Amino acid sequence: MSKPRRPARTVRQRFTALYGALFLLSAIGLLALTYVVASGPSNISRAAPMGEQPYRSSALAAAQERIGQLEAELAQAETHQSRQLLLGSAVALGVMAVVSMVLGRFVAGRVLRPLRAITATTRRISADNLHERLAVAGPADEVKDLADTIDGLLERLEGSFAAQRRFVADASHELRTPLATMRASLDVAVAKPEPVPEQTVSLAGRLRTELDQVDRLLDGLLVLARAQHGAMVDRAAVSLGDAVAAALEARAAGIAAQDLTVRTDLGDVRTRGSRTLLSRMVDNVIDNAVRHNRPGGWIQVAATAADGTALLVVETGGDALDQEQVALLARPFQRLGPDRTHSGDGSGLGLTIVAAVAAAHGGALDLSARPAGGLRVAITLPSVPG
């Protein structure tokens, strides 16, 4: 699954800008009101004492001069005070701008925290763990309504997936009975005491071949349904190296018939899961490498482990392949043209089963075309200590 593209401007950034702007406008309004009130005209009246005689003219002139000096000093002090107030307001406004952005980001984070939790949980849920639910607690608000809607959608999807897998498993199982009946009828028809025509024997042989092909297809569907359903009761530590060695030994005749060169680098790599499914996964990968190889070709298998991850890589030589077509090989019944279907005895589900088994064990399948020609199959799985 590709990583979702991050938007150029997130909702948190927009909320931060909105909350910051609101805080900043409030601070500007408050500071402007304070400045207006502090710098308003002073209404101080001075009244001469009642009943007193006026001073002499010289004393009056001196008093008026002194009053003028005091008024000038007062005006100068008021101007200085206004400048100080303006400067303090500008500093306070800058501080409030920073505080507004910090508070806006904090508030936006608190508001969006439930949505981030819903997004992370929804992104983690896939077809392999549809049983999980968001189960958001809290008041009945818009966020909880969204979470409950997603939970309802997941429940419907889980039911649909389960019904599909049950249908595939049941249909594959039920179809085995008529196949066995047809195979028995062929055996009875060929085993009659009287001489059987050669055409009948040839037809019976071809029908047996087709029945075997259908039987392998049904077996593949059963394994695929089991892997996708996650029914793994036989979980244990499985050695990938032992599974590869067993798969190569079982196909020794086919390898020798095509004169294939096999190179292996198998370390003590273990993973935990269903021994049956993991063995089938390795069998399918090795079988695919042998079946779709050229005479005199080669196969290279390596199993390594690092940082808690087990890696199984199977490479084969051959013609140059188209990466876009290679990426589709994990789909059911997908092949790369007639050059990869000449054998005619495959079910078309080999790599599909490999991808399903790997996903059921918390891993992944990666298919890539080798630059020099051929195919590279890489399987990653969680590793366990040997």
Q: Coil, helix or strand for 368?
A: strand
Query: CB of 289 within 8 A of CB of 313?
Result: no
Count of C-beta atoms within a 10 Å radius of residue 321: 21
* DSSP secondary structure letter of residue 360: H
- Shortest CA distance to 386 belongs to which of 313, 328, 321, 303? 303
pLDDT tens-digit series, residues 219-237: 777 777 767 665 555 678 9
What is the model's pLDDT at position 342?
A: 41
Average pLDDT, the chain: 79
CA angle 359, 339, 1 (to 5 degrees): 25
d(CA 145, CA 115): 12
pLDDT tens-digit series, residues 32-52: 777 676 665 554 444 444 444
Kindly give, in sequence order, each residue whose CB lies less than 8 Å from that of residue 51, ignoring residues fewer than 6 positions away: none
Which residue type is seen at 347?
Answer: S
d(CA 19, CA 22): 5
Q: Which of the given ranges, 129-138, 201-210, 372-381, has the highest pLDDT on average?
A: 372-381
Query: CB of 356 within 8 A of CB of 281?
Result: no
Confidence of residue 248 (pLDDT cuts 50, 70, 90): very high
Confidence of residue 386 (pLDDT cuts 50, 70, 90): low
Structure tokens at 10: 């997130």
Query: CB of 132 within 8 A of CB of 56?
Result: no
Higher pLDDT pick, 186 / 383: 383
Backbone angles phi, psi at 311, to 5 degrees: -125, 120
Query: CB of 118 within 8 A of CB of 153?
Result: no
Residue owning tokens 């918390």: 362
Structure tokens at 198: 């050669």
State how far the alpha carbon of 330 is from the alpha carbons of 154, 324, 366, 380, in Å.
25, 12, 9, 15
- Shortest CA distance to 180 belongs to which of 208, 222, 221, 217? 208
pLDDT tens-digit series, residues 278-327: 988 999 999 999 988 889 999 999 999 988 999 999 999 888 888 888 88
Q: Report the predicted TM-score, pTM, of the whole model to 2 decimal places.
A: 0.55
User: Could you tell me how far CA 114 lies from the centroid of its own chain?
Assistant: 19
Structure tokens at 232: 């793994």
- Shortest CA distance to 248 belongs to which of 217, 216, 279, 204? 279
Structure tokens at 24: 């900043």
pLDDT tens-digit series, residues 10-23: 777 777 788 777 77
- 277-294: string of b/e by CB count within 10 Å (b at 16+)? bbbbbbbbbbbbbbbbbb
Residue owning tokens 């059963």: 222
What is the model's pLDDT at position 336?
A: 66
Structure tokens at 325: 């077509």
What is the model's pLDDT at position 233?
A: 57
- Shortest CA distance to 346 belongs to which of 248, 251, 216? 216
